[in-house]
Amino acid sequence: MRANSKISPSSLPITIGDYIFKKYLCKGGSSEIYIIESNKFKQLYVGKVITVNQRNMEQQWKSFNSEITALSHLNNPNIIRMYDHFRMSNQFFVILEYCPLGSLSDKIEVNIGLSLTQFVEVASQIISALSFCHAKNIAHRDIKASNILFDLYGRAKLSDFGLSLHAPNKMLQNSFCGSLVYTAPEVIMRKPNNPFYTDIWSLGVLFCVMLTGKSPWTAKDQDTMLQQIMRAEYVVPDSAPPELVALIAKMLVPNPDDRIKISELMKNELLFPQNTKENKIKEKEKIIIHNAKSLYSKHLSIKPSKVNSHHISLASSSFLTHSGTNLSYSFRSKSSMDNIQMTFVEE
């Protein structure tokens, strides 16, 4: 049974149900973050506590509900995991995975940023996490360095879904949220916005921060910064890798419809070389299979739907050595022939 005690930094340690609230970590927005331990599992977690007050009760309840709704749909190695949630008196509790290696903010060296190796490793994991979210029709809406955490094994984890939105109909939104440095132009201009496109903008700003160790906006005052954001007048050093500069340029586009899509980011050769290689192999295999059908019909005068395994065996040699077919050794493999054979139905 959960105790009726109210959690605060001065009340520690305190036990609520199965959890011992041991250490106060920080304050984040309207919530307080604690390190807690499960009596049952003897394992450390993070306890996120939102204390509700009458003045902004509706907003706090919305934030709590958004987070638990999003995290209950998201099971991904690069997204923070939720283990429990409950309400006690005027406080909401979310029990989350503990990430002892801190946040991306801790790892980025001021005015220097990450090495290229570190950038690629972290960026690819964040994109994978965001792609998973978007596939589940969930927009994060608060992507920034402090919301990327690292678990015990050094894996990047997208966290803090308090501003997230489940938008299966992809309708434009009239709500405006996020951190100014990471906020998209259409949000600043109070235009109806597609939250999935604003996520891409925020990710582009984050990539600038990861590259340089500082904000891409050089303005000293807020009004000038707003103008820079709306015009996408960002700064990256000349020494930055040209592939990343080109990628960021596709993300930080003022017109949201012209921004690169998350599916295209997943195909980036620098960040996802394996995905790119596999896609190329699949495309080549499609061509091979298409050519195989034509060659089988030509050499055997049999309709593709009537070709059986015996016909394929007879024609394989002719196909692979055909003078008009240029095949590398890798595509003369059993797997390729298996793919060809599976496209025909034996009748």
Q: Is the Cβ–Cβ distance between 300 and 315 less than 8 Å?
A: yes
Single-letter code of the amino acid located at 124: S
Catalytic residue among 18, 84, 106, 142: 142
Q: Provide the pLDDT for residue 77.
A: 97
The whole-number pLDDT of residue 108 equals 96
pTM, to two decimals: 0.77
| In contact, 307 and 347? CB cutoff 8 Å | no
Task: Please tell me the predicted confidence (pLDDT) of residue 125.
Answer: 98
Residue appearing with tokens 């308090």: 162
Q: What is the pLDDT along the chain (347 residues), one digit of tens a residue?
A: 344 567 888 888 999 989 999 999 988 777 899 999 999 999 999 999 988 887 777 778 888 888 999 999 999 999 999 999 998 888 899 999 999 999 999 999 998 999 999 999 999 999 999 999 999 999 999 999 999 999 999 999 999 998 999 988 878 888 778 889 999 999 999 999 999 999 999 999 999 999 999 999 999 999 999 999 999 999 998 889 999 999 999 999 999 999 999 999 999 999 999 765 555 555 566 677 766 666 656 655 555 555 555 555 555 544 444 444 444 433 334 444 344 333 333 33
Q: Vertex 283, ends 280 and 285: CA angle to 5°?
A: 110
Q: What is the spatial distance between Cα 203 and Cα 206, in angstroms, rounded to a whole number?
A: 5
**Residue 262 near residue 134 (C-beta atoms within 8 A):** yes
Domains defined along the chain, listed by start: 9-97 (3.30.200.20), 104-271 (1.10.510.10), 276-342 (no CATH)
| Three-state helix/strand/coil letters over 137-193 | CEECCCCCHHHEEECCCCCEEECCCCCCEECCCCCCECCCCCCHHHCCHHHHCCCCE
User: For this structure, is 238 an active site residue?
Assistant: no
